[in-house]
């Protein structure tokens, strides 16, 4: 069976991606801060890993190599967010954002490329965001990391092409999971937040996690066999309004 490695597998998009990839017949190697479990009935391996720690990532991929021998898809979903203007942001918070959101993708690629070379599918999919194109007040670190993800995706696509590996990114708009859940929990006016989501997208709503996961699955599949170095916007028309 083909094997997919998914980081951030315990989050909303990560969980949906795990489910979609399992339904497509993949065995799963799931990476998160705490051990993630494959969806019901799916075969796989759950690994606790700090994506900011090279040793932790290397250990995780050694376990993946021992279990599966090869990888067909590396899907980098993991990411964190932090709200703070530049003048007030702690250096440690800025560094942590860079280490997880961008450095984590570098590390999974570094240790994952040899396993992808042995696989059949040979695809990397990175999680970008419309925030890499439309900056948001008080989130300078996040928007910077998401812009960097797209540049890293292009650079890695150029390098990995000689190994037969495709590298692409998915850029969602607002998603009904993860960071949005946190924002809803913290706001005094959730109706206003939902109204903002309607106004932000041509389709008048935010995405469901499964809609993002299906785009990831397509990019990781043979149906996208001649697609590399690209960012697929799954944004309900967000970029067309901004």
The residues carrying an active-site annotation are 142
| Residue 120, phi then psi, degrees to nearest 5 | -95, -40
| SS3 sequence of 171-196 | EECCECCCHHHHHHHHCCCHHHHHHH
Q: What's phi and psi for 212, nearest 5 deg?
A: -70, -40
**First CA to last CA distance, the chain:** 42
Backbone angles phi, psi at 114, to 5 degrees: -60, -35
């Amino acid at each position: 069976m083909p094997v997919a490695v998914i980081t951030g597998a315990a989050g909303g998009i990560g969980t949906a991606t795990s489910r979609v990839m399992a339904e497509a017949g993949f065995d799963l190697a799931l990476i998160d801060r705490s051990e993630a479990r494959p969806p019901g009935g799916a075969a796989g391996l759950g690994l606790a890993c700090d994506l900011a720690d090279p040793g932790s990532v290397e250990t995780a991929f050694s376990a993946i190599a021992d279990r599966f021998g090869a990888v067909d898809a590396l899907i980098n979903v993991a990411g964190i967010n932090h709200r703070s203007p530049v003048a007030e942001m702690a250096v440690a918070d800025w560094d942590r954002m860079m280490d997880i959101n961008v450095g984590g993708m570098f590390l999974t690629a570094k240790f994952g490329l040899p396993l992808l070379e042995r696989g059949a599918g040979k695809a990397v999919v990175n999680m970008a965001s419309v925030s890499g194109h439309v900056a948001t007040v008080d989130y300078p670190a996040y928007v910077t990391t998401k812009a960097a993800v797209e540049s890293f995706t292009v650079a890695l696509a150029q390098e990995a092409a000689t190994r037969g590996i495709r590298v692409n990114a998915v850029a969602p708009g607002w998603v009904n999971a993860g960071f949005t859940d946190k924002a809803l929990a913290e706001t005094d006016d959730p109706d206003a937040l939902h109204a903002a989501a309607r106004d932000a997208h041509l389709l008048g709503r935010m995405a469901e996690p499964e809609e993002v996961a299906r785009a990831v699955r397509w990019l990781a599949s043979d149906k996208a066999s001649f697609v590399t170095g690209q960012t697929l916007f799954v944004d309900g028309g967000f970029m067309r309004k901004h």
